[in-house]
Amino acid sequence: MSKLTVRLSLRELEKPENQQKKNNFLKAWKRIKQLPHTNPNSFWSIATYHGMPFKNHEFKVDSKKKWSGYCQHNNVLFLFWHRFYCLRLEQALQTVVPEDEQGEDGEVALHYWDYLDQSGNEYELPPILSAEKVYIDGKEERNPLLGFKLPLPLPATDTDAFYAKPEAGYQTTRYPFSGIQNPEAARIKAMEHNRDIKKRHSCPDELFLHNFRDWLTFGTIHNGNHDDVSLLSGAKRALDNPDFNLFSNRSSSHYHGNKDIWRSIEVVHDHIHLAVGGYTPAIVDPQSGDVYFGDIEGANGDMGDNETAAFDPIFFVHHSNIDRLFWVWQKKWGRINVINISKNLEDPGVTPEKNQGPTVHQTGKQVLDLDTGLYPFQDELGVVRKARDCVHIETQLNYTYSIGSLDKHDWPQSSLDTTNEQIEPIKIRVSKDTEDEIDIIAGRELGSRVKKSLEDKLHHHIVVDATYSVHSKTLHRFPS
Ligand SMILES: [Cu+2]
């Protein structure tokens, strides 16, 4: 197996010893953006997986019940789908700066934006996300992470015409500006809004930073109620929850959880999207009577909506960090090999019709689990990827993360022994040469202490089948 790809924080990337890595990262970004849109490794191609342009136009909408992008949100597959998504982008970056061009210690990786890092000027953006100009191979160039100019239009469908970009050449937009282009009346309002911002503020970047700081420190207004959970404490609360469903997604945590105690990592993720893109409550156009999911008077940047968020490169350094926090949770709770998704059908995070609606190749009542196809991701043989294929990022996917915020070099062994009533037990066949099946707490990695206590119980030595975590035939649920 080749060397593990190591993803660093964008601040670590600024260190003198990482200059080659930073250069290659920027160079790779520049190149995937320049590839022809027909190239599968082009940024355009990969950005289109997430939302617009919609894949399955025969879905008649009911915009809240169907989602015609591939991305998974509000459900138990959110973290898995985006894990493969980040990997796909990272592979494209590595393709355009091949190994022989990378130089010593210049490995290309999808580095992460550690916005929860409280160790320095936490309320500033890492320079690589804000600088107009950067150096690539010694030449000053426009920073490829600032945005993307779409080579093709995003046509309006009956699902989500509001976010369509009817003309090619649209430039992605961030707070405090608006990128609304459709319909024409809405486009004109957005243009006026943008002109007004520029007229009144000599430095719109400061408005962006101010907004970002507000989200980071104070939380925000939801349905008129002030939510005073800062992003950092929200993330800590999410990581403290050993139940995968509750940790992973907004639908499950809203259903099960006490809102004051638990918080899913998806909500933390949402807040960064809104901090970068802007918040957009629904309004009705007084003239046409059309309902818009956005306030044209305010900011409406691409990161604030699923339809176009992935066209802003910042999306991927954000999701790399969310994926890292997923890995931190896995390490903390001993789930680096096995993750148990609860199939409680009352949980709205489990069936598509109760959350974002079915995506392409899904049905509304389907139960989402470790074997659900994560379209459009495939392995080398063209087999559709599943959550089960991306549980262990190092052994299954060959990458890892540096130690960032909320992470520890070694989680205390005791965390593996914590029991929690909410967790459904599963049976794991621990050895090939015994037929015994042992009940252990769901998803818990078979750490040495657990192994020892099982051995004591069974009075014989346990040989752990190394493949038990990734093959369904050795992993059974209790019949319900
Ligand atoms: Cu996202």
- Report the distance separating Cα 118 and Cα 114, nearest Å: 9
Task: Between 122 and 275, name the one with better pLDDT.
Answer: 275
pLDDT of 265 over the 60 cut = yes
Task: Between 267 and 89, name the one with better pLDDT.
Answer: 89
Q: Which of 59-63, 178-182, 435-439, 473-477 has the lowest mean pLDDT?
A: 473-477
Q: Per-residue pLDDT tens for 419-460? A: 333 333 333 444 444 444 443 333 333 445 555 555 565 555
Across the chain, mean pLDDT equals 79
DSSP H or E stretch at residue 43: helix 43-47
How far is ligand 1, taken at its centre, from the CA of residue 96, in Å?
24
How far is ligand 1, taken at its centre, from the CA of residue 315, in Å?
7
Q: Which domains does the chain have, with CATH numbers?
A: 5-401 (1.10.1280.10), 425-477 (no CATH)
How far is ligand 1, taken at its centre, from the CA of residue 326, in Å?
13
Q: Per-residue pLDDT tens for 406-417? A: 998 766 533 333
How far is ligand 1, taken at its centre, from the CA of residue 433, in Å?
45
How far is ligand 1, taken at its centre, from the CA of residue 296, in Å?
22
Task: Between 467 and 197, name the one with better pLDDT.
Answer: 197
Q: Per-residue pLDDT tens for 74-92? A: 999 999 999 999 999 999 9
CB 437 within 8 A of CB 457: no
- Residue recorded with tokens 């486009």: 187
pLDDT at 121: 62
In order, the DSSP letters of 330-385 are HHHTT-SS-------TTSTTTSGGGTT---TT--TTPPP-TTSEEEEEE-TTSPEE
How far is ligand 1, taken at its centre, from the CA of residue 89, in Å?
14
Q: Per-residue pLDDT tens for 126-143? A: 999 999 999 999 999 999
How far is ligand 1, taken at its centre, from the CA of residue 7, in Å?
18
pLDDT of 66 over the 90 cut = no
How far is ligand 1, taken at its centre, from the CA of residue 112, in Å?
13
pTM: 0.81
Task: Between 232 and 308, name the one with better pLDDT.
Answer: 308
Task: Between 435 and 32, name the one with better pLDDT.
Answer: 32
Task: Between 145 and 103, name the one with better pLDDT.
Answer: 145
Task: Between 232 and 330, name the one with better pLDDT.
Answer: 330
pLDDT at 122: 58
How far is ligand 1, taken at its centre, from the CA of residue 201, in Å?
29
Burial, 131: exposed, middle or buried (Cβ in 10 Å; 0-12, 13-18, 19+)?
middle
pLDDT at 9: 96
How far is ligand 1, taken at its centre, from the CA of residue 101, in Å?
31
pLDDT of 26 over the 60 cut = yes
How far is ligand 1, taken at its centre, from the CA of residue 456, in Å?
46
How far is ligand 1, taken at its centre, from the CA of residue 60, in Å?
24
pLDDT at 259: 56
How far is ligand 1, taken at its centre, from the CA of residue 378, in Å?
21
Task: Between 87 and 99, name the one with better pLDDT.
Answer: 87
How far is ligand 1, taken at its centre, from the CA of residue 479, in Å?
35
CB 148 within 8 A of CB 34: no
How far is ligand 1, taken at its centre, from the CA of residue 475, in Å?
31
In the chain, the percentage of residues whose pLDDT exceeds 70 is 73
How far is ligand 1, taken at its centre, from the CA of residue 440, in Å?
34
Q: Which of 154-163, 292-301, 452-461 has the lowest mean pLDDT?
A: 452-461
Backbone angles phi, psi at 42, to 5 degrees: -70, 150
How far is ligand 1, taken at its centre, from the CA of residue 270, in Å?
7
SS3 121: coil
pLDDT at 466: 30
pLDDT at 158: 59
pLDDT of 105 over the 70 cut = yes
pLDDT at 271: 86
How far is ligand 1, taken at its centre, from the CA of residue 477, in Å?
31
The rounded radius of gyration (Å) of the Cα atoms in the chain is 23
